[in-house]
Structure 1
Amino acid sequence: MTETHNAKAKKKVVPMVLALLLIVVLCSSSIADTTPTTTAPATTPTSTTTTPGTTPASTTTTAPGASSTASGSTTFRFVVLPDTHVKNGKDGMMAPARKAVEKIANEIKPAFVLHTGDMIDIEYKKGTQQIDAMWSMFKKGMLDPILNADSRFFPSAGNHDIHTASAKYVEFWRSFENRGFQVTGPSGYTSYYSFDFGNAHFVSLYVPGTQILGGKAKEQREWLKQDFASAKQRGKSLFFVFAHSPVLCSEKRKDRCGSSDLYIKDKEVFDLLKEYKATFFGGHMHIEEDRIKDGVRSIVDGQLGGGGGAFSFLVVDVEGTNFKVNKISWPSMDCTALPKVPAASFPQFAGATGTTGATQCPAGYTATTVTPSTTPGTTPGGATTVSTATADMFIGKGRGCIKGDGVAIIGDSISWHGSYANYKGFVKLLQEQCPGVVFNGKKPLTEPGVTTDYMLRVLKSNVLGKGYKQLIIMGGVNNILSPLANQNKAEIITKDLSEIYCLAKKDGMTVIAMTITPLGGGKLMKPEKQIELDKVNSWIVSKPQCVDVVINTYKALGDPSKTDTMLKENHVQDYIHPNYMGHKRMFDVLALAAFPKPLTV
């Protein structure tokens, strides 16, 4: 159907009842026939806008609340949610996801929300167990609050949504009622589909973490070609595509792509995106990246649940043929910088109150404009990070960022995760802080599951005499959690660490000692083990001989209300391993105490 049908219908003389029925049918079949009403705000702020196909981030003075004069274009706001990995149980939604939903539903109130997949967290080892409970938690904790705020919700399948249970995915979304909203596609919300909004056209592709189109690839490719052409005939000027897999490869995850620059290895699909100057929102990678190739803008936006990666989501403001992408980052999730956007009217939707959209968010959120790069693999700039470190989280002062320094990092799985390329652990963050310093936190210096006696052997065989200028050491976690007898654990740990500290100092290194992290709350931790942990940490914070800097990670990651437990927002739901925010907090203290900028030559 096209927009010209309305005019033709109005010319026919029919009984009033039939005319009303015809109008209802036409309105419910496509949003393309409705241009939301807008009201310009009192102020005219300056915003950074992007015109598809051009170099992004050209600055223009616009009135975000005002309708464009172009025929059929509107001003509106939508949200893009990345991987949320909702599990079952009362803690099924991680704190970043819970807070994001709360802010979206109560304050941002976009016209609609796109989700790029991995909505729930079907684990490959556990198969189909408790999947119904996960979808129930997702509905209660995420879907219902958004719909009840009169926003719409548009999903795209991820690998953790359909693994071993694609029938459950189809069952859930087949019963989905999106406030009367209809989409175009072979199977509704359960596969690939599209919809119009104002002057923009949106497509959800079915690429659930794979590098080829999911399902029947040829049919999906042909459908996309016809769908784009039809949208263009209807006068749509902006094209947005979203899927779980990103369209372009990332320099951070080249291990998944080889020599190709395309993650979705389908040149015909990429050529279509290029022809229509489409913007592509993807997930799956748990990283943040924004780049352009041949006029196709590819945006990958972190995560809101799961392991590794930065926690954030996107708010996109569309004005006429331009749009602005704002990144909302955990933990502050502050949106005070977002411009005012007027409500959009949806009178044809059953159950709607008549308006969606919102004015400026109240205090409590940090919005940063995502500025894409034309250089492949470049991380978007402009994000402002706030340190969580305080003076009581460290003792002493380190050597700093000295160009050419080698820093050895010895530890267990916590330090090992710190070097993950896609994790943004504390080691990777230090490398970004001090680009002229070499931080070595990979094997064999760090190894999951090792105890302090192993770390001592690593120091002797792989660090001493190798020219390292600084040492960062965290040890004792696996000694404490070991099922072996709890007596004398503290004595064994402190003996090993003391020898490590002084051998490194004798070798000319600045020694940075990190305390053991909080371990309470997990199944492996017992009261008698906590006693041994407290002994070790008390000794470390006393700044023993040969130590230059003490980093109190126990205090930095701990829950103020439960002194032996890591704050929920800081771990990967196992009470042992810090997540991105936990690593960010460790980095904050390290940066303040031992590696402040600027770089010293």
Structure 2
Amino acid sequence: MRLQSIVSVCTTLSLFIAVNGYAAEKDPVVATFATVGDSREEPSDKLNAQDKIWLQNTKAWSRIMREIQTQKPHALFFNGDMIMGYTTDKNALNRQYAYWRGMVTTLQENGTYVLPVPGNHEVQEKFKDNGKTKKIARQSNEDSWRENMGDLIVDAGRWKATVGSDLQAFDVKNVPQIGSADNISTDQSQLSYSFDFAGQHFAVINTDPVGNDGHAPAAWLAADFAQAKARGAKRFFVFGHKPAYTYFYKPGIDLEGMDKFPENQQAFWQTIEQYGATYFCGHEHIYNVMQPTLASGGKAYQVMVGSGGSPFSAEPADSQNPNDRMYAWAVVKVHASGKVVIEAHGFDERYGPTRLLKRVTL
């Protein structure tokens, strides 16, 4: 009887492997990427001596990178606020960028290309004006971004050496133009950009351009997507810092994203819905997955992963959702058929075991 049970189990297991192996062969994964944002720290006496200098949550961010490395994605899109910034002091900016760049080098050397996304801490200056705190994007900070991150945006040769295959359709001139409908006043090269990989389209947007803070380049994105669709792109993914829709983890919080400017928000989200795109963002230091227009027939997802190490937005008493205080990231697998699987992984503030938080199939 025991022998028959063993044979039965082995037969079932063999059949499972054969069927699933065949399914994987029939619809292989053609592109995979991870995404997260917001690893910078606030100046605080609670920081260790190292992090006081670099203003980085080294412990959380380094663990997230180790976890991502084991998942072996082709790319990591980091959705902004990798440095504390908020200054026009180039020496301070260069020092903080250098530390963050050093931390991500291991990923680059082990098959995961790192693609940075500008956040408000990188491009804005924070200052007092008549007793009021202001945060305004500065051209000098956009220049510092390019000086420190431009070699990654996008180096086709380095991509192939890292990933093992080519990307396509990257054009350094394909950016929101000065004087365009997106109210652009400065050079946006290497701040907003796009490319194709494995038949999929990827777009990065600067949500705080000089003179138009808090706005997405919605007109540029619509034109960029139309061109990508004409090339035959199957799936569309967008990465920005500020959300299109604020996540209200508790009542009464301020608007944090494009919803401060409803006309821009609606134009941006219309393109996301039209192309069945997925928008990945941060800014709120929290993990959340939503379909913001589901009640009105929309299907597109906003995936917020501003949970890379910055102080949590939600205080312990703010929410009954334990995921609101998780260090979390998303890993996305795109299959040849166009099927997309998004998995969010995370660990709690006590650095307990990593667990799967959510799986979404598109």
Q: What's the TM-score once normalised by structure 1's chain length?
A: 0.41
8 Å contact 2:79–2:240 — kept in the other structure? yes
Q: Which residue of 2 aligns with 1:211?
A: 214
Residue of 296, 299, 306 corresponding to 1:295: 299
Shift of 1:80: 0.5
How far 1:285 moved relative to its partner? 0.6
Given that residues 215 and 258 in structure 2 are in contact (C-alpha distance below 8 angstroms), is that contact kept between their aligned partners in structure 1? Answer: no
- Tell me the residue number matched to 1:400: none
Deviation string for 1:555-580 (max 9, x for gaps)? xxxxxxxxxxxxxxxxxxxxxxxxxx
User: Residue deviations 1:129-178, cap 9 Å, x none?
Assistant: 62211111011012x11111121122211011122333211211223364
Post-superposition offset of 1:116? 0.9
Residues 246-285 of structure 1: pairs in structure 2 closer than 5 A: 246-252=243-249, 255-257=253-255, 262=259, 265=262, 266=264, 267-285=266-284
Mapped partners of 1:333, 1:110: distance in 2? 23
Counting only pairs closer than 5 Å after superposition, residues 562-573 of structure 1 correspond to structure 2 as: none
Pick from 298, 312, 316 the counterpart of residue 328 of structure 2: 312
Distance 1:192 1:221 in 2: 11
Secondary structure in 2 matching 1:255:
coil
Aligned partner of 1:136 among 90, 93, 98: 98
Rounded Cα–Cα distance in structure 2 between residues aligned with 1:368 and 1:252: 17
Contact conserved, 1:246 with 1:263, CA < 8 A, in 2? no
Partner residue, 1:367: 356
1:322 aligns with 2:282: no
Matches within 5 A, 1:365-514: 365-370=354-359
Matched, 1:160 2:104: no
Query: Contact 1:74–1:198 at 8 Å: present in 2 too?
Result: no
| Counterpart residue type for residue 248 of structure 2 | E
The corresponding residue for 1:593 is none
* AA matched with 1:321: G
Give the conservation status (yes or no) of the 8 Å contact 2:214–2:258: no
What secondary structure is seen at the aligned counterpart in 2 of 1:145? Answer: helix
Larger Rg belongs to: 1
Q: Counterparts of 1:21-170 in structure 2 under 5 Å?
A: 42=17, 63=23, 65-66=24-25, 68=27, 74-85=29-40, 90-91=50-51, 92=54, 93-94=56-57, 95-105=59-69, 107-123=70-86, 130-142=92-104, 144-164=105-125, 165-170=141-146
SS in 2 for 1:244: coil
Separation in 2 of the partners of 1:44 and 1:262? Answer: 46
Aligned-partner Cα distance in 2 for 1:141–1:327: 22
Determine if the alignment matches structure 1 residue 231 to structure 2 residue 228.
Answer: yes
- Aligned to 2:67, the other structure's residue is in SS state helix
Give the direction of change, closer, same or farther, for the CA distance of 1:84–1:231 in structure 2 (3 Å limit).
same
What's the RMSD between the two structures over aligned residues? 3.4
Which stretches in structure 2 are left out of the alignment for 5+ residues? 1-15, 44-48, 126-140, 160-166, 176-186, 314-324
Structure 2 residue identity aligned to 1:295: K
Aligned partner of 2:25: which letter? A
Q: 3-state DSSP class of the match of 2:249?
A: helix
How big is the shift at 1:295? Answer: 2.0
Aligned-residue sequence identity (percent) comes to 19
In structure 1, how many angstroms separate the alpha carbons of the residues matched to 2:289 and 2:83? 25
Amino acid at match of 1:328: H
Preserved CA contact (<8 Å) 1:84 1:306: yes
Shift of 1:188: 8.2
Q: Does the 8 Å contact 1:82/1:117 carry over to 2?
A: yes
SS of alignment partner, residue 250 of structure 1: coil
Shift of 1:228: 0.6
User: CA 1:368–1:151 in structure 2 vs 1: closer, same or farther (change >3 Å)?
Assistant: same
Quick one: distance in 1 between partners of 2:22 and 2:41? 39
2:240 to 217, 239, 243: 243
- State which drifts further: 284-293 or 162-171: 162-171
CA distance in 2, matches of 1:86, 1:168: 20
Q: How does 1:517-528 map to 2 (within 5 A)?
A: none
Instruction: Name the CA distance, whole Å, in 2 between partners of 1:62 and 1:317.
Output: 18
Amino acid at match of 1:111: H
Q: Is the 8 A contact 2:282 2:304 kept in 1?
A: yes
- Tell me, in whole angstroms, the C-alpha distance in 1 between the residues paired with 2:188 and 2:200: 19
| SS of the residue 2:25 aligns to | coil
Measure the CA separation in 1 of the matches of 2:282 and 2:108: 22
Is the Cα–Cα contact under 8 Å of residues 282 and 300 in structure 1 kept in the other structure? Answer: yes
Between the aligned partners of 1:264 and 1:140, the Cα distance in structure 2 is 37
Distance in structure 2 (CA, Å) of the matches to 1:67 and 1:282: 32
- Structure 1 counterpart of 2:356, which letter? A
User: Matches of 1:273 and 1:251 in 2, distance apart?
Assistant: 21
- Aligned counterpart, 1:389: none
SS at match of 2:115: strand
Alpha-carbon distance between aligned partners in 1 of 2:22 and 2:341, rounded to the nearest angstrom: 11
Name structure 1 gaps, 5 residues minimum: 1-40, 46-60, 214-219, 335-363, 373-601
| Corresponding residue of 1:537 | none
Compute the TM-score of the two structures, normalised by the length of structure 2: 0.66
Report the alpha carbon displacement of residue 242 of structure 1 after superposing the two structures with TM.
1.0
